[in-house]
């Protein structure tokens, strides 16, 4: 048995029933809520921002894992902390000064993650891993739910795990994009310990999906 965590992506929730569905996945046992914020510039899509996160914060006490797909996220760290984030993850590719951005996040008291897109090499994170709480490996091009998992992410997870063993053994390694009940075991075996899943949780029976993810992840 492992202690791997499921972080369902609310991008795939039925927005007409966000309260009902948030309660359903909370009660089914999902430990983290993954909140995808998109600005239409860093990625070609616009999702939701702080007011929506603030609303969901009133529904559940679960850990809020906020994935910022926005340019220069340093401008908005305080706003997302105030909206209820427990962890703020920024993109390596979106920050002019990553170190200052990490420090700004840590200064607010929330946990800090850094994400890389599919074409960005893990080695760019080497100098930052000891300062952060999580690396988020994107296994699709960020911007949309429901895409197909890119198997090249598996090698990047292993490389991140090797870096973590050297400089930060408690690092969370989260993987996001195209994860299903059929491929989640490969992602865990490569070294991930936090799994994001959007469509694979919210399509069909949400309670059953959450339970089956945990069964496979921690078997």
- In whole angstroms, give the CA distance from residue 155 to residue 191: 10
Our answer to whether residue 186 is catalytic in this structure is no
Our answer to whether residue 133 is catalytic in this structure is no
Residue nearest to ligand DX5 (CB): 198
21 binds Zn ion (CB under 5 A): no
- In whole angstroms, give the CA distance from residue 219 to residue 12: 26
Q: Do 60 and 30 meet the contact criterion of CB atoms below 8 Å apart?
A: no
- In whole angstroms, give the CA distance from residue 160 to residue 154: 10
Nearer to Zn ion, 108 or 147 (CB): 147
Phi, psi (rounded to 5 degrees) for 207 = -65, -45
Piece of the chain touching ligand DX5 by CB under 6 A; list 7-15, 49-57, 106-114, 166-174: 7-15
Residue 40 tokens read as 């239409």
Catalytic residue among 86, 121, 176, 182: 176
**65, 32, 121, 192 alpha-carbon torsion, rounded to 10°:** 160
Among 57, 67, 81, 156, binds ligand DX5 (CB under 6 A): 67
- In whole angstroms, give the CA distance from residue 34 to residue 45: 17
Among 128, 145, 154, 157, binds ligand DX5 (CB under 6 A): 145
Among 73, 84, 113, 178, binds ligand DX5 (CB under 6 A): 178
- Residues of this chain that bind ligand DX5 (CB under 6 A): 9, 11-12, 34, 36, 67, 140, 142-143, 145-147, 176-179, 196-200
């Amino acid at each position: 048995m492992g202690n791997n965590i499921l972080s369902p992506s609310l991008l795939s929730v039925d927005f007409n029933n966000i309260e009902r569905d948030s309660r359903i996945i909370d009660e089914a046992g999902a430990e983290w809520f993954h909140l995808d914020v998109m600005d239409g510039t860093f990625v070609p899509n616009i999702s939701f921002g702080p007011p929506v996160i603030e609303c969901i914060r009133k529904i559940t006490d679960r850990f809020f894992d906020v994935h910022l797909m926005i340019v220069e996220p340093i401008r908005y760290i305080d706003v997302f902390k105030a909206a209820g984030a427990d962890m703020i993850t920024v993109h390596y590719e979106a920050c002019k000064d990553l170190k200052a951005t990490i420090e700004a996040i840590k200064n607010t008291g929330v946990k800090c993650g850094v994400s890389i897109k599919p074409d960005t090499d893990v080695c760019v994170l080497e100098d930052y891993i000891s300062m952060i709480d999580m690396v988020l490996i994107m296994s699709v091009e960020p911007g949309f739910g429901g895409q197909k998992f890119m198997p090249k992410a598996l090698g990047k997870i292993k490389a991140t795990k090797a870096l973590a063993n050297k400089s930060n053994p408690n690092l969370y390694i989260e993987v996001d994009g195209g994860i299903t009940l059929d491929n989640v075991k490969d992602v865990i075996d490569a070294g991930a310990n936090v799994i994001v899943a959007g469509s694979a949780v919210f399509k069909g029976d949400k309670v059953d999906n959450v339970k089956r993810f945990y069964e496979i992840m921690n078997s």
